[in-house]
Amino acid sequence: MIIVTGAAGFIGSALIWELNNRGVQDILAVDWLDTTSKWKNFYGLRFSEYVDRDDFLKLIEHSDKKCSRVEGVIHLGACSSTTEADARFLMNNNYEYTRKLAMWCQAHNKRFIYASSAATYGSGAQGFSDYHAVLQKLRPLNAYGYSKHAFDLWALQEGLLKSIVGLKYFNVFGPNEYHKQDMRSMALKAFYQIRDQKKIQLFKSHRPEYHDGQQQRDFVYVKDAVRMTLFFWDNKEICGIYNIASGVASTWNALAGAVFSALKQKPYIEYIDMPPTIRDQYQYYTCADISKLRAAGYASPVTVLDAAVSDYVSAYLVPGERHLGE
């Protein structure tokens, strides 16, 4: 049995979809179904059991039978809001919960793969290398990023990165993100803006070295992200922290252009002021170094931005927020 936490979430549900494509159904799905529509991400997915996240730790700690069946845990459950201000909540939810799971997997010799985040890189002043030697130098810009970084540092300090895997997801977009509200990708937001208003709004640049819309991100399609994740499930001898990304920096203008193209519409971009509340936390450039991932043996090509956006828009958004399992 594979345990997937955050199973109803964006990447978690996409991961189960990919496991199902491989014929794997013996999956324990763990999540917290709140008032959002993320339960719809379970449409068409096949798993053997569902357990609420608050009951999950008690279940594995007190069930020897359950423990014997578990191959490992892919821990994707977390609060991923970069604007969440409650640092205590984030540390409990993202750091402490992950620490308990990691210790349980270590005690029972189970594979443990967990979601870190590109938010740990902060402004990018120290680069975007996933080599462990730079971990101590990173300075996240928000409490979410710090909660993820804190666990990376703890795992390094305890020597666990020799036996577990941490994955730093960059700007993932694609089907099953519909419930994420303000944290939805710009690709999704752009689709609705263009469909309804025939234009898209992007933030102006507040740094002279970047023109409006020329801020850059490493965008990665969710289908690529889950294949990269399962590479580490398939190759259990590989451990440590790795970037999950395209390795290419694309501008917001390029992303907007891809959505316009997928909708066969002429580009019309309106640049608006960035809210002062986020200016000090805003990343102007992200581009993952994926050489370590490649050196580990991941050889599959990464879907280029235009093709990924085209697939997302035509196969999932135009039909009406279609889910991966449908």
**Catalytic residue annotation:** 144, 180
- Residues 283 and 22: their CA atoms lie apart, in Å, by 37
Cβ–Cβ < 8 Å for 107, 95: no
Q: Which DSSP symbol is given to 108?
A: T
Cβ–Cβ < 8 Å for 263, 256: no
Residues 6 or more apart whose Cβ sits within 8 Å of residue 235:
296, 297
Q: Which DSSP symbol is given to 294?
A: H
- Residues 291 and 301: their CA atoms lie apart, in Å, by 13
Buried b (16+ CB within 10 A) or exposed e, 31-54: bbeeeeebebbbeebebeeebebe
What three-state secondary structure class fits 299?
coil
